[in-house]
Structure 1
């Protein structure tokens, strides 16, 4: 075999390896005539793109892309778990970015790819190191790798300044969309990791992911603090509405009105604002009950 043929074969295998193992490829560098048109199917990826100065290339986002507020002006392609391929394709993107944890159905991703659109799905680990890696991966993919360094440095600085709760409060996270949809968070979720990083203890560590909320589980867990998304607490009619849910008033959190709320994306995104999110959570769970 000629040396040139051997080199071509090696290069082909190397490139295919990049696709299969790292899930990262380099996007076509924007030109004046044909700029890259990006659709993001993950709120954290959208936030990172904006922080990297690439918002002008975003032409559509999913509904979890709520920060910065300027993203609200962009067309929405639905929730990342219920995305329709047609809606994405209609925007005529040249690049679609998401994460493997976003929950977009594999068949939808394949439909988008079959339309000739490049789709990149990043791995995301729910940790400080994972947040920094995702920033770097997005920046490298979009050929602005050097812009990741200041973002990562600021994230490190913010996290280092977090004052963790020192009293190890038991925190129960409830995902709510009205009283008809109420779930509690177990091991391995974003909220579980955030509670740990903020100095708290997950009140329901005996199962993975989420399970339906029951009065019995509430009493058994007996959390010191109950945590919800701000939108979830609103859907229940505020703190007064939550206290009417069976079992809540019998917990230490209910007795002491230790009900706290946070913006959903800030709490669970593991975005460049991770340090800010941890500081807010740590302060809220560390507050002593009112006398």
Structure 2
């Protein structure tokens, strides 16, 4: 009789464990994730799913462990084949770059695809965190990460300053663009308390000597690898028009990591602090 009771108790215990395991699996049972946005990748990692990432786009440079994860291309020109070759059970992307035809291919083969809108603001980052957490079925972890961001934002002290900042995207002297309004650079410069020196246009446009004279920035802002591609500050000063600006005369050039500066992921407040600190130094 005692043996029957023990066996029954064991069966009940096993059933409870199995149900608990199934519940965890149902909640978190996402085994293979492909992320097609650097900020989304950071959020996925911050929510504890770093090990589930089997593929990322090339903007996914943080955390450093992403160097070991398969790259599927730049989010501006993703094709379906390399993504699907990784056999994901979840694809996460933002709607600003991925072609609708590619999204359709993902859905046609039955892969769960979650497309989110990325807004380049602190509020937009919080919304993105909430949406990624919902896709991963861990809303409570998303809420905790948003609260952490709230605390960082409340502790942030930024004083507005009259400095005009011009962001230059460079891949050597042959490829140089400036960031206008409605770009992540425009938004982060404003959050750091300064002004975008490029006005009168949205998005990016090629750098010209005339535009430099018109903008006359106090500070030039660049990605660290962008300035490196120019041969450092000395190489940048050889570009026609740069040396004639206030920034050029004072050799005031700020460099930052590209994904930190423009990602608007969980490190957005850190990015604002770093940029504001460099503007004030």
If the TM-score is normalised by the length of the shorter chain, which range does it land in? Answer: 0.7 to 0.9
* C-alpha distance in 2 between matches for 1:155 and 1:105: 31
**Mapped partners of 1:121, 1:46: distance in 2:** 13
Moved more, 150-159 or 78-87: 150-159
1:80-130 deviation line (CA, Å, top 9, x unaligned) = 1121211011000111001112x1222222222222212111111111111
Task: Report if the CA contact (8 A) 1:63-1:79 is conserved.
Answer: yes
1:165·1:286 contact (CA, 8 Å) conserved in 2?
A: no
Separation in 1 of the partners of 2:25 and 2:271? Answer: 33
Q: What residue in structure 2 maps to residue 240 of structure 1?
A: 234
Cross-structure match for 1:9: none
Structure 1 stretches of at least 4 aligned residues deviating more than 4 Å after TM superposition: none
Q: 1:175 to 1:203 in 2, by over 3 A?
A: same
Q: Where does structure 1 lack aligned partners over 5 or more consecutive residues?
A: 1-27
- State the alpha-carbon separation in 2 of the partners of residues 86 and 286 from structure 1: 47
Structure 2 matches for 1:229-268, cutoff 5 A?
229-268=223-262
CA separation of 1:108 and 1:267: change in aligned 2, threshold 3 A: same
Deviation string, structure 1 residues 219-259 (Cα, Å, up to 9, x no partner): 11100000011111111111111111000000000000100
Q: Which secondary structure does the structure 1 equivalent of 2:34 belong to?
A: strand
Name which one, 1 or 2, has greater alpha-carbon Rg: 2
* Aligned equivalent of 1:274, options 268, 273, 276: 268
Q: Distance in 2 between matches of 1:224 and 1:239?
A: 15
1:72-87 equivalences in 2 (<5 Å) = 72-87=67-82
Conserved? CA contact 2:58–2:75, under 8 Å: yes
Question: How many Å separate the matches in 2 of 1:226 and 1:35?
Answer: 43
Separation in structure 1 between the aligned mates of residue 93 and residue 277 of structure 2, nearest angstrom: 31
Question: TM-score, structure 1 length as denominator?
Answer: 0.85
Q: 2:66 aligns with which of 66, 71, 74?
A: 71
The aligned residue for residue 95 of structure 1 is 90
Asked if 1:195 corresponds to 2:189, the answer is yes
Residue 145 (structure 1) aligned to one of 117, 139, 144? 139
TM-score, normalising length: structure 2: 0.88
**Alignment root-mean-square deviation, CA:** 1.7
What's 1:114 paired with?
A: 108
Q: 1:170 aligns with which of 164, 167, 183?
A: 164
> Contact 1:29–1:142 (CA<8 Å) still a contact in 2?
no
CA distance in 2, matches of 1:243, 1:39: 41
Structure 2 runs not aligned, ≥5 long:
1-22
- Whether the 8 Å CA contact 1:171–1:285 is kept in 2: the answer is no
Label 1:210 to 1:29 Cα distance change in 2 as closer, same or farther (>3 A).
farther
Higher helix share: 2
- The whole-number CA distance in structure 2 between the counterparts of 1:41 and 1:191 is 20
For residues 275 and 141 of structure 1, the distance between their equivalents in structure 2, rounded to whole angstroms, comes to 24
Structure 1 equivalent of residue 19 of structure 2:
none
- Provide the rounded CA distance (Å) in 2 between the counterparts of 1:35 and 1:48: 15
Contact 2:56 2:69 in 1 (8 A): yes
2:125 to 128, 131, 155: 131
* Contact 2:170-2:230 within 8 A present in 1 as well: yes
* Equivalent pairs, count: 258
